Structure 1
Amino acid sequence: MQVFKFGGASVKDATAIKNIGTILQSYTSKPLLIVVSAMGKTTNALEKLAESYFNQRNDVHEIFEEVKNYHFEIIHQLFDQQHSVYDEVSNTFVEIDWIIEDEPVDEYDFIYDQIVSIGELVSSKIIGQYLNHIGLTTKWLDARSYIQTDNVYREAHINWDKTSELIQKDIPKILANGFAVTQGFIGNTSENFTTTLGREGSDYTAAIFASCLNAESVTVWKDVSGILNADPKLFDDCIKFDELSYEEAIEMTYYGATVIHPKTIKPLQNKHIPLYVKPFLAPHESGTVIREATIAISTPIIIVKNSQVLITLHTKDLAFVTENQVSDIFKAFADAYIKVNTLQISALTFSASFDFDENKFDRFKTLLSADLDLRYNTDLKLITIRHPNNEAIKKHVSGEIYLEERNRNTAHFVIKV
């Protein structure tokens, strides 16, 4: 069996959904599980809604109406007015109505997951109904019935034993009778609350299902021709890779290559499942395959990550930064759920850069030892060059460099925007 994942751009409007139907008509001979993201920029809109609701702003209902109208316009272009999908989607949106009719009492991350997860639920219901409408027998599955997590909201961790048990129990029998469509990005706690797996986590969901089902392959359908050596939105002379190793893909995604979610590769590598990245507008093109292989890369890979913060910690009495202090610093990172992108340690200072999240950063500052002074800069960007050469560095790195770090295969530059 195979697992397909369709992201927000591939389900952004009625034309895109019809294109999915055309693609899937060529794959009816094998069991197929389809994972879908929220439509277009819905996640962004629902994040804005969650923030406005939490802060009790006046635009909550206006934002919500825009989200609903966007989806119902797509439905109107795909179905007649009597189709049951109208009621299904309306009833799903009611879950947000129940939340926003009262003042917030829960923590923001919990509220975020309960609101933002609705995007995937609505998207999958529309797509599942459309596939049935065009004659592709499809069963809608609630991913929360299978993906079991802890209660770390917005960054939930998978309970692999329970998740694998639930997936293996039901889904193979379902796939024997047709397609199944489910949601990316979301899971469920033991208390039956919705969690999310991290921003852009639908790729990871596809990998979880594939790993538990011992799938033949995973295909992620994108709006690019495959995996490129740079973001085509930022650079004109991008080169497509026909194949990459799991190791290379992990390194690229860790430092911010957005074509694949960083957690996607490991579950596939564990089971030797290849990952294909293919263009949804040209489905017969080969795209890129990520697999277990030794593949020599000579082309520099350029990765740009914005919204970085660079901190520098130093002792107050000019004493050396000790191993115990470094241990305490990393514990503060872990307790604040911060992933470090770069770091340097000198005799007197500890410097690190990471993605700026105001809530996480505030928590990190409260966890630091009183023996350390903190300085920091925001509004920075991280440029990572895999397999660097002098020409690539000269071409892509300019401006004031706040931190530079190099090893055999990678160069990092934290730069003022």
Structure 2
Amino acid sequence: MEKIPGLEVYKFGGASVKDAAAILNLCRIVRDFGPQGPLVVVVSAMGKTTNALEEIYDLAYRGADYSAQLAAVEAYHQKVSTDLSHALPHPGLDASKPDPGLESGFDSLAYSLRNLSSSKSYDEGYDQVVSFGEFLSCYLVYQALAGHFEENVYSRAGLIVTDNTWREGKVNWQETEKRAQAELTLFQNGARIVVTEGFTAQVLNSHRTTTLGREGSDYTAAILAYCLRAEAVTIWKDVAGLLNADPKIFPDTVRYPEISYRETIEMAYYGASVIHPKTLKPLADRNIPLRVKSFLDPAAAGTLIHDCQHPALAPAFIRKTDQCLLSFASKDFSFISEENLAVIFAALAQAKLKINVMQNSAISFSVCTDFVERRVHLLLDLLREQFTLHYNTGVQLFTIKNYDAASIARLTEGKRLLLEQRTRGTFQFVCQA
């Protein structure tokens, strides 16, 4: 496989492209801090667009009126386009008129919403609608970069290929690598920057769109870095790097200057919000370093994630909200056997519920999972004939990586614990919110 020397991948999340000022800051980062070689820019949907499209889709799927919400999303994007045109004129665009590219995109989105088939699964329809957020963001970022750098900026979509597992597409690595490698000709012919959508993918041998899971743009960057043999990946966030806790929850956070792939993978698995859980493996497989830096202070050091050894780390505090604690007990008071567990796990897989923590006793088995109402009720329907079921919603799951007695005491104080579990390096507990 070919490799372009010096090629890097930058990923910008929703907060870093939330308005015209943020997109212009992205341009400055690329200009002042970008690599000397070619660059792939992966972008998420702007601001809270994904949340807004989820609301619109849910209304449309239920046959309710969504026109006001859709108009608000369009107005938001048109304003960003107008602000960008005033700040950074682009050939062919008139700041006094609606952006025709955005108009075309919203026409396509409106068509998709009007033509939701009742026979189509909820998750399949979700992917066709919610993925528009990345399309719109990619379009505006491309316009800004093209206006800023004037030439050798390209926009590309559909580089990642998956199966048709809606909302959690499984990557077809062979086909994706083939498509990504084909794009190398752009760089060989002088391209400076290629902009592409995060989160979204295309079903193999189909024009249908899939998504890679919520917050999947990090994973997009890792997939493309793997397939293009990139030198490095940088994820631009609104924090100083990889911290030991969310600064919105814990005021006294610590930044890790460097950290290993393995330690970061575990933190992401437990719910650390800075990195998508699937991001690290493709990078570790090709020993591609990952930097986490602040788009608010791009000159700061950030965090370097790579294959390294480091001394013991400060305890990491991770909180997952909106959890559901489910307990299954055999109706005849028999032990929870391997056969019982096989049935429960099969039902969890069918309902597409990921286990965040689990624990069993002689006659019961408990799991904590993200609360998605439709999926939880499907699980209950699948298992209620065989098991006695109890569940608590609105609970929280806390994880302490590299815990000590002081960190456990600090986090559990004053909380009513419903479940707790510890290993040599990790302490977890579920409590009432």
> Could you say which residue in structure 2 is the equivalent of 1:156?
169
CA shift digits 1:55-98 (9 cap, x unpaired): 1222x010001001001111111115950791111111111111
Cα distance in 1, alignment partners of residues 156 and 213 from structure 2: 18
CA contact (8 A) 2:8 2:35 kept: no
RMSD over aligned Cα atoms: 1.6
Superposed, 1:10-409 pairs within 5 Å as 10-26=16-32, 27=34, 29-58=36-65, 60-79=66-85, 83=93, 86-102=99-115, 104-105=117-118, 106-144=120-158, 146-174=159-187, 176-189=190-203, 190-368=205-383, 370-397=385-412, 398-409=414-425
* C-alpha deviation, 1:103, in angstroms: 5.7
Give the match's secondary structure for 2:301: coil
CA contact (8 A) 1:143 1:184 kept: no
Residue in structure 2 matching 1:8, options 8, 11, 14 = 14
* C-alpha deviation, 1:368, in angstroms: 2.4
Give the match's secondary structure for 1:309: strand
Cα distance in 2, alignment partners of residues 271 and 387 from structure 1: 27
Aligned length: 415
CA contact (8 A) 1:56 1:103 kept: no
CA contact (8 A) 1:231 1:303 kept: yes
Cα distance in 2, alignment partners of residues 186 and 204 from structure 1: 10
Partner AA of 2:260 in structure 1:
S
CA shift digits 1:4-42 (9 cap, x unpaired): 000000001111111111111132621110000111111
CA contact (8 A) 2:166 2:210 kept: yes
Cα distance in 2, alignment partners of residues 43 and 388 from structure 1: 35
Give the match's secondary structure for 2:385: coil
CA contact (8 A) 1:136 1:179 kept: no
Change (3 A) 1:138 1:10: farther
Partner AA of 2:125 in structure 1:
I
Partner AA of 2:432 in structure 1:
K
Compare 209-218 and 49-58 and name the one that shifted more. Answer: 49-58
* C-alpha deviation, 1:141, in angstroms: 3.3
Q: Percent identity among equivalent residues?
A: 41
Runs (4+) of structure 1 moved beyond 4 Å?
none
Partner AA of 2:345 in structure 1:
F
Q: Which residues of structure 2 form unaligned runs of 5+?
A: 1-6
Cα distance in 2, alignment partners of residues 212 and 102 from structure 1: 35
CA contact (8 A) 1:38 1:123 kept: yes
CA contact (8 A) 1:128 1:138 kept: no
Cα distance in 2, alignment partners of residues 280 and 371 from structure 1: 52
CA contact (8 A) 2:161 2:201 kept: yes
CA shift digits 1:338-366 (9 cap, x unpaired): 11011111111111101111122122223
> Could you say which residue in structure 2 is the equivalent of 1:415?
431
Q: Normalising to structure 2: TM-score of the pair? A: 0.92
Q: Normalising to structure 1: TM-score of the pair? A: 0.96
Compare 107-116 and 45-54 and name the one that shifted more. Answer: 107-116
Change (3 A) 1:170 1:299: same
Give the match's secondary structure for 2:226: helix
Partner AA of 1:123 in structure 2:
S
CA contact (8 A) 2:38 2:187 kept: no
Cα distance in 1, alignment partners of residues 150 and 263 from structure 2: 37
